[in-house]
């Protein structure tokens, strides 16, 4: 005798639903991680833009104070030097640190 019932068994339907649930959960997690990564990239880009503005101010304005705050950004400048040619010469620079609550970036400005 041939069984003429057409359709899926309960077990097949349950397995399919379980597989779809796992795929949906994985996709949702991937989407959340991507969203967080995008936010971090945008924050870093904004920090770099602000650091470049402050760096340009230091390169063009000798009267700018060595530390301060601009909006949500804090910055600090330290002078330093690096010996070259076995200490015969020194390369002088300014180390500019710009930071927010979560992130910081350091830029080096050549001293003249």
| pLDDT > 90 fraction of the chain, expressed in percent and rounded | 38
Tell me the mean pLDDT in the region 68-85: 89
Domain residue spans of the chain: 10-110
pLDDT at 4 over 70: no
State the Cα–Cα distance between residues 21 and 34, nearest whole angstrom.
20
- Give the global pTM: 0.64
State the Cα–Cα distance between residues 46 and 85, nearest whole angstrom.
38
Which pLDDT score is estimated for 20? 94
Which pLDDT score is estimated for 7? 81
- Show contacts of 35-43: CB within 8 Å, 24+ apart: 43/100, 43/102, 43/103
| pLDDT > 70 fraction of the chain, expressed in percent and rounded | 96
Pair 68, 12: CB distance under 8 Å: no
């Amino acid at each position: 005798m041939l069984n003429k019932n057409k359709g899926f068994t309960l077990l097949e339907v349950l397995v399919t639903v379980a597989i779809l649930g796992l795929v949906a959960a994985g996709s949702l997690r991937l989407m959340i991680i991507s969203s967080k990564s995008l936010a971090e990239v945008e924050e870093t880009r904004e920090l770099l833009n602000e650091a470049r503005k402050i760096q340009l101010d230091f390169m063009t304005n000798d009267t700018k104070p060595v530390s301060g705050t601009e909006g949500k950004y804090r910055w600090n400048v330290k002078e330093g030097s690096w010996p070259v040619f076995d200490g015969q010469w020194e390369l002088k620079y300014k180390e500019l640190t710009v930071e927010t609550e979560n992130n910081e970036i350091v830029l080096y400005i050549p001293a003249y």
